[in-house]
Structure 1
Amino acid sequence: MSNHGGDSKSGGGGGTLSEVYQNSKRLLIKTRDGLERLEKMFESTSSSDLSDSLNRDICQIISLCSNMDSLWRSIPAKSQRDLWKRKVEQVAEEADSLKGSLDKYLSRNQRRVQEAREREELLGRVNGDGSHVLRIFDEEAQAMQSVRNSSTMLEEAYSTGVAILSKYSEQRDHLKRAQRKALDVLNTLGLSNSVLRLIERRNRVDKWIKYAGMIVTIIILIYVWRWTR
């Protein structure tokens, strides 16, 4: 076994460390290209064959990494050992990344196959009893449209109620300001207490009218909501 750089040889006759490393790099390039082709393929026998081939290549790269791991450890020079250690680790990381990409593709492909099978089963049921299925779909569509219409009506009724309540609030503020002004004027003129009590009673009546209007508005909103359910 040689002690220079990448000339360490595998005990199993697999070549020097440099040769094994070059083989692993060629396989990495081949696997990356194969994955790119695989992503562009539709489901077919050729794509299945290619995925199997890529899986074998990745397994071979991992095996080469195991072989290189034993080879770089036999290099006497520490600087060379550290250099080859980093190289082998990079190859192993790329192999893991390619394995992850292939697994993701196979998972997506399996999901597509399952979805296609479910569509075929659904179409088979439709062809077997088309009118029944179509009637169910039509009823569901009508129900969804009814829900949307009810939701729209409820939103419009709610907006109307909010606007009415806001208007009542504005009117209440106006009445309060008018009351204060009237009281100031009456106090200035020195009107009698009976007149002031009359004004206060009128204000209470206006307040009850306002509350009654709010209650009626709320009852209308509740009725509209229950009617649209």
Structure 2
Amino acid sequence: MAVEGGGTLSEIYSNSKRLLLRTRDGLERLERLEFSSSTGVDSPELSFSIKNDIAQIQSLCVEMDRLWRSVPSKPQRDLWKRKVEQVAEEADSLKESLGKHLLRHQKRMLEAKERAELLQRANGESAHVLRIFDDEAQAMKSAHNSSRMLEEAYFTGVAILSKYAEQRDHLKRAQRKALDILNTVGLSNTVLKLVERRHRTDKWIAYTGMVVTIIVVYSFWRWTH
């Protein structure tokens, strides 16, 4: 509450001492609030009240400094001078303590803001990293599927070529048997040439099938990579 500054030197001094007690009590409450939690709780209303009381004490000191000079007795003047100086020094000390508290509170608020911004950026970067890992996982999965498909195509081509080779061997054995039979029954050279020509045709068909199969497997491998 506000305290009037009028009255005698003794009355003004008493008012200033009551204000000093109230200000010290207010600062102690501010410090308890500040260190009661890791976030440093603050009371703007209490801070404003303390600041207002300190300003009023300093105003009373100005009034008392004017009044003690008018005291007739020199010993009394010296006594009042020391009293007024003590009040003024204590008011300055309380003002400095309040200023330090406000600076600490401002610093904590700034640090909290920076932590919040850093956490927000970190969350955004984490999400970006997770998206990168997800894209990499999808790419690896696609590459694995392509590799598996290529292996299947390769083994299919090998099986087809093996079949062609097996059929070619069968054809050769059948042709040899046919030639033996024809030679046995004494067929003409013309018939033998026809058989050989058919043998060469079958051979080219087998080779062409092998080449086509290789081209298909190679084209599929290029497409998947």
- Match in the other structure for 2:107: 111
| TM-superposed deviation, 1:110 | 0.6
Tell me the amino acid that sits aligned with residue 80 of structure 2: W
Distance, in Å, in 1 between the alignment partners of 2:71 and 2:32 is 43
Structure 2 unmatched runs, 5+: 35-39, 131-225
Over 3 Å off, 4+ runs: 131-134
- Match in the other structure for 2:97: 101
Q: Summarize the alignment of residues 18-167 of structure 1 with structure 2, pairs less than 5 Å apart.
A: 18-42=10-34, 43-44=40-41, 47-131=43-127
**Is contact 1:126–1:133 with CA below 8 Å preserved after alignment?**
no
| Partner SS state of residue 129, structure 1 | helix
| TM-superposed deviation, 1:126 | 1.9
Report the identity percentage: 67
Distance, in Å, in 2 between the alignment partners of 1:93 and 1:52 is 20
Distance, in Å, in 1 between the alignment partners of 2:5 and 2:101 is 35
CA RMSD for the aligned pairs? 2.0
Which one is further off, 102-111 or 120-129? 120-129
Distance, in Å, in 2 between the alignment partners of 1:23 and 1:133 is 66
| TM-superposed deviation, 1:131 | 4.6
| TM-superposed deviation, 1:22 | 0.3
**Is contact 1:24–1:61 with CA below 8 Å preserved after alignment?**
yes
| Partner SS state of residue 84, structure 1 | helix
Structure 1 unmatched runs, 5+: 1-11, 135-229
The structure whose Rg is larger is: 2
**Is contact 2:5–2:60 with CA below 8 Å preserved after alignment?**
no
| TM-superposed deviation, 1:129 | 2.5
- Match in the other structure for 2:187: none
| TM-superposed deviation, 1:128 | 2.1
